[in-house]
Chain A
Amino acid sequence: MKQIGSVQADDNILHIVWNGDLLAATPVTGEILVLDLVTRNVSGHPGHGLGNGDSAWFGGRLATCGFDGRVRWEGRELHAGRGMIERVKASGDGKRLAAGQGKSLLVFDGQGNPAHGLAGLPAAVADFAWNGSSRVAVVGAGGARMWKLGEESAFARFDWGGASLRVEWSSCGRWLATADQTASVHIYDFTRDYPLHIQGFDSKVRAMAFSADGRKLATGGAPVVTIWPCTGKKGPEGVTPVQLDGHDGDVSAAAFSPADGKLATGDGTGGILIFTFEGDRVLRKRLRLDSGISALAWHTEKDWLGVGMEDGTVSVLSLDA
């Protein structure tokens, strides 16, 4: 393992995201930084006042959002409204950008123009996830609703009495997973229109990621990482999940490598575990950094792991070195 790049932000790193060899790092407050691993240049984008939201690459440019109610992209302000914006995400095919604000999902086309957004949703948007360029799942109080943009009503909904805070949609489109306000996870199977509510976690689930092929879901909150098999007719239903221990603190971030399927998980004590899956065997490699891990993201093609930390440090580790 070798550190091949690093940058220091002004605050705890909230989110990191790759675009080729560019790594964008969004701290909780302050300038959003882009580290170019080829030229070693670091560029800055203005922060969003008292709180930044996540950032996203859209059309090769960085989109940012925050508690000031603004979405910025390409040096332009796409939206300036009232109320915090915590997430901005581009669709997998890169054709649309969306941001959640209150009970609206703002959607923009490739030119940054408004395009088929959702307004007057039944609950505020806690999180959302794309599938393709036109399908989007929105979660919040009351569960999840799935929309095809441009249509009047949701094409699917999974209701429950509590609230969901985070959502991931597997790339294959079959599975939707939510991390909830209570210490639970919902996994929805679109092929069966079947919701699985998994309770009994030691704490709220803070980290959640699908593998690139959608066959594994990793969840973490307490020091244990759980791998749910999302294969076969019933997926995780009735199957004992794989429990991976080794963290000294609560798991705060998880990411599968799109290149080779490795799983990286990080905890609040600075520990990182890299899990490699070989048939039924799981190999574990341990790394330790100087600050709590707050964000992890793999390069899409290389064996590079981007690591965001609570002290504002962002490191890029080469795992094959």
Chain B
Amino acid sequence: MDRTPVTILTGFLGAGKTTLLNRILTEEHGLRIAVIENEYGEVGIDHELVINADEEIFEMNNGCICCTVRGDLIRILGNLMKRREKFDLILIETTGLADPGPVVQTFFADDEMKEKLFVNAVVTLVDTKHVLLHLDDSSEAREQIAFADVILLNKCDLVEPADLDALELRIRSMNALARIHRTTNAEIEIPKVLDVGGFNLDHAMEVDPHFLDGHHHHHHKDDVSSVGIEAAGDCDGKKLNDWLSKVIREQGADIFRMKGVFAIGGQPDRIIFQGVHMIMDAANGGPWGKRPRHNRLVFIGRNLDRAALNAGFRNCLA
């Protein structure tokens, strides 16, 4: 059964989410798009569904201490998927203050949602003029960046280039996996936000190689950061599984995203892995071909211990 892609738009108040949404909806892309919002927009939208302003967060109570989903989303999407008329894409615009975690986890933790839908991308808009006011004080703002597959540094016309460079460096240190674009008035080629495949395991590890070498520098210490690990050779499959299980069991609440490509001893193919908080997903990534057998793993999370994660992974090498 073909699953319908879902794009999640996040970003703090005034960052430009609605501007981007309107651009997407007015673009000639031929896609039939359903939009789920927290409030009715000023511009009438054909297939607009509005969920209640009170976020309805369900704890899953399934053993994952941090596993929460959006009950209202499950119901509204459940209804949408029953319709005879099908959509090519579902766009979810979250409120500026929303923690994106439960929205993203909805598509991993609920079996019905997982069966019928998949997250194509989390797109986070950043108001470059004002984001620094929020980054230090708002865990939601930091998590919106941490969860993103695509980050639009918006309102670039209002900020000096040097300040933009510094901001981009800081954001890159928080999320090494996201593709970052600089925009004004959320002007961007639409495929760069809709044709992403951020949670597609085939695209799991399109990481800036420079990030993985660990030589990036920035002067601001954020509690949210990325840790990249790279090592040649094969892993011991059992050791790797045990270690990853331990990491997510003990630190899953603080890990927003993780992605990896592994060479496992005895396995001719690449093993691709990704996770959200305590939920892991792995798949066969096809043959290594002429590529060297090389492991790459990235964690994005809060209060990550870079040295401990590196040491833990290296213990898994065969």
Contact = CB atoms under 8 A, between A and B. Distances in A.
Interface of A: 10-12, 14, 28-29, 50-51, 67, 69, 82-84, 86, 101-103, 123-124, 126, 140-141, 160-163, 165, 181-182, 203-204, 294, 310-312
A50 B47 contact: yes
Interface string B27-62: 000000000000010000001111111101111111
A126 B71 contact: yes
Contacts of B54: 102-103, 124
B40 to A, nearest CB: 8
20 contacts: A11-B83, A12-B82, A50-B80, A51-B79, A69-B50, A82-B50, A83-B52, A84-B49, A84-B50, A84-B52, A123-B56, A124-B54, A141-B58, A141-B59, A160-B61, A162-B58, A162-B62, A163-B59, A181-B69, A181-B71
Interface of B: 40, 47-54, 56-62, 69, 71-72, 74-76, 79-80, 82-85, 110-112
A103 B74 CA distance: 17
A124 B61 contact: no
Given A50-B48, A51-B76, A141-B71, A82 B53 contact: yes
A142 B72 CA distance: 14
A124 B111 contact: no
B141 to A, nearest CB: 25
A251 to B, nearest CB: 14
Contacts, number: 99
Most chain B CB neighbours (cut-off 10 Å) among A50, A84, A160, A163: A50
B71 A83 contact: no
B84 A50 contact: no
Contacts of B69: 181
Given A124-B71, A181-B69, A181-B71, A163 B58 contact: yes
Contacts of A310: 82
A81 B140 CA distance: 28
Contacts of B71: 124, 126, 140-141, 163, 165, 181
Nearest to A182: B62
Contact of B49 (A50, A103, A123, A141): A50
A84 B51 contact: yes
Contacts of B84: 10-12, 28, 311-312
Contacts of A84: 49-52, 72, 75-76
Given A140-B56, A181-B58, A126 B83 contact: no
A49 B4 CA distance: 21
A126 B110 CA distance: 16
A124 B56 contact: yes
B61 A161 contact: yes
Nearest to A142: B59
Given A161-B61, A162-B61, A67 B56 contact: no
B52 A101 contact: yes
A14 B56 CA distance: 22
B59 A162 contact: yes
**9 nearest A-B residue pairs (beta carbon):** A162-B61, A83-B52, A163-B58, A102-B52, A161-B61, A124-B56, A12-B82, A28-B82, A51-B79
Nearest to A81: B52
A14 B59 contact: no
Contacts of B76: 51, 67, 84
B61 A51 contact: no
B39 to A, nearest CB: 8
Contacts of A124: 52, 54, 56, 71-72
